[in-house]
Amino acid sequence: MRVRFDEQLELLNSELIKMGGLCEEVIFKAATAMLKGDPELALEVIPIDQEIDRKEHDIENLCLKLLLQQQPVAKDLRLVSAALKMVTDMERIGDQAADIAEIVRMDNIPFDNNNPYIRDMANATVYMVNNSINAFVHRDLEMAHAVIAYDDIVDDLFNKIKVELIQKISACDITGLEDNFGEIAIDMLMVAKYFERIGDHAVNIAEWVEFAITGHLKDT
């Protein structure tokens, strides 16, 4: 019985890695589409987001089978319960990447592809998502804590983007050089907010890893 349970846990790890890889891909494509102003690339985000939704369903079913058929002990129960929570955050990561792609696809606004803060936010969130999943697979508490700490970097980048946009809007008010910059600024701020939320979901995943390993859940 235990051998069968361990095999299914390995399958769970494998499926989470695949779902995590899809999350990395969907963030990267959404960010690239945005920075290049490429609506066609933005369209490629949609099927990846749909695949993430399917993975969520498959992993939920696997977790329920583990809970109902294998009668896990306390530590294993925490692992499976954490995985159930994690896939919800991963699915939302896909949704928010799709929201970024939708802004690119519908508005076709020329983003500043030299903006280092947007690029850095995209790279940071990919890093956080990847390491939060790896922390679960390898039961690595230190890696989970590093993901949680890294969220400060994403928050700082978001604040820098806000300040920069405010400064540019103020300059436009004075010079009148770009009548449509207000619309561009709103979309850029929304994109930055979606990246910030993706970082928050990665933190949630890392906190569920901590729960799976230690039994401690933040704010409880």
pLDDT digits (tens, 9 = 90+) for 201-213: 999 999 999 999 9
pTM of the model: 0.89
**pLDDT (0 to 100) of residue 184:** 76
Q: Tell me the pLDDT tens digit for each residue of 141-185.
A: 999 999 999 999 999 999 999 888 887 777 765 555 455 667 777
Q: What confidence tier does 188 reach under pLDDT thresholds 50, 70, 90?
A: confident
Spell out the domains of the chain, with CATH numbers in brackets: 2-214 (1.20.58.220)
78 and 84 in contact (C-beta within 8 Å)? no
Q: Where are the alpha helices (DSSP H) in the chain?
A: 2-36, 39-43, 45-69, 74-107, 116-137, 141-175, 181-214
Which are the contacts of 74, defined by CB distance < 8 A and separation ≥ 6? 215
Tens digits of per-residue pLDDT, 49-107? 999 999 999 999 999 988 887 777 888 889 999 999 999 999 999 999 999 999 988 86
Residue 132 has pLDDT above 80, yes or no: yes
- Quick one: pLDDT at residue 44? 96
| Lowest mean pLDDT across 22-31, 141-150, 181-190 | 181-190
Which residues are CB-neighbours of 31 under 8 A, at least 6 positions away?
100, 118, 119, 122, 195
The pLDDT value given to residue 62: 93
Average pLDDT in the 28-40 region?
87
